Amino acid sequence: MVGWRVPRSHPRYHSLVLRERLVEAWRRGIVVPEGLIAHGRGECFDYLIGEETQEFARRAARAAAALLLLAEYPVISVNGNTAALAARDVVLLAEAVGARIEVNLFYRTEERARKIAELLRENGAKEVLGVDDATGVIPGLEHARGRVSPRGILRADVVLVALEDGDRTEALRRIGKKVIAIDLNPLSRTARAANISIVDNVVRALPEIRRHVEELRDAPREELEEILRGYSNEEVLGEALRFIAKRLTELAEKGITIRFD
């Protein structure tokens, strides 16, 4: 609603602020309406994990940090929702690991790509790929969805995606990219296809990866490789599902008061 301000006293203040940020970004032509729906699905899973970074996400974020530090040419892929929710955190993580930033859209229009790049630059990005230079194509994806920068995703060894479509994640894996995904839904095709899946809200996951990057920055290569050897994405996704199941069982047994508000 234009002019509406989220009351600070509201028990769901933080969640409402994220919604407002997305709606505002939709008004500015940064987020697509489908992005608002996608966020709703994410909110539901966020509710189930307690709206906090859980141990399985922490473990995945640490592995992601190790992979980004070992990468030769990491790229952070940014879509409308990620830009609206976490543009500054994208820029800070890219700086911390020396990654390129590329706008990569599912519902691509040139105007929206330009607006997202502008928002990233307003948040400190020095260079944003994927706007005028999206001349490469990911094989297996039809034209607009598959367009990438030859200096970005096409060249990358490691690609970080957030709120990504499953088809595109699978296509990135097929062309040999290592994929780090941020996705609140542990059942999504993206979460299952990625090498490392961080089941957490993008607004918490990006700072969490950065925290591990700072911790691991001076670690020897062998230590980073050891973290990756000990990491199993299947196990982590299993843990996320077990966590949700256990939490729901406990809540049911405790007899939560169900409120309809």
Question: Which residues of the chain form contacts with ligand PTJ (CB under 6 A)?
Answer: 32, 34-35, 38-39, 41-42, 45, 79-81, 85, 105-107, 163-165, 182-185, 188, 201-202
* C-beta of 32 vs 134, nearer to ligand PTJ: 32
Measured CA to CA, the distance from residue 61 to residue 213 in angstroms comes to 9
Torsion angle (degrees, nearest 10) of CA 212, 208, 243, 234: -60
* C-beta of 53 vs 195, nearer to ligand PTJ: 53
| Least distance CB 146 / ligand PTJ (angstroms) | 12
* Nearest residue to ligand PTJ, by Cβ distance, number only: 42
| CA 155, 168, 136, 34 torsion-angle sign | negative
Inter-residue contact 103 to 117 (CB < 8 Å): yes
| Least distance CB 227 / ligand PTJ (angstroms) | 23
Measured CA to CA, the distance from residue 232 to residue 254 in angstroms comes to 33
Instruction: Kindly give the pairing relationship between strand 100-103 and strand 178-182.
Output: unpaired
* C-beta of 32 vs 213, nearer to ligand PTJ: 32
**Type of residue found at 191:** A
Inter-residue contact 187 to 197 (CB < 8 Å): no
Start-to-end Cα distance in the chain: 19
* C-beta of 52 vs 223, nearer to ligand PTJ: 52
* C-beta of 70 vs 171, nearer to ligand PTJ: 171
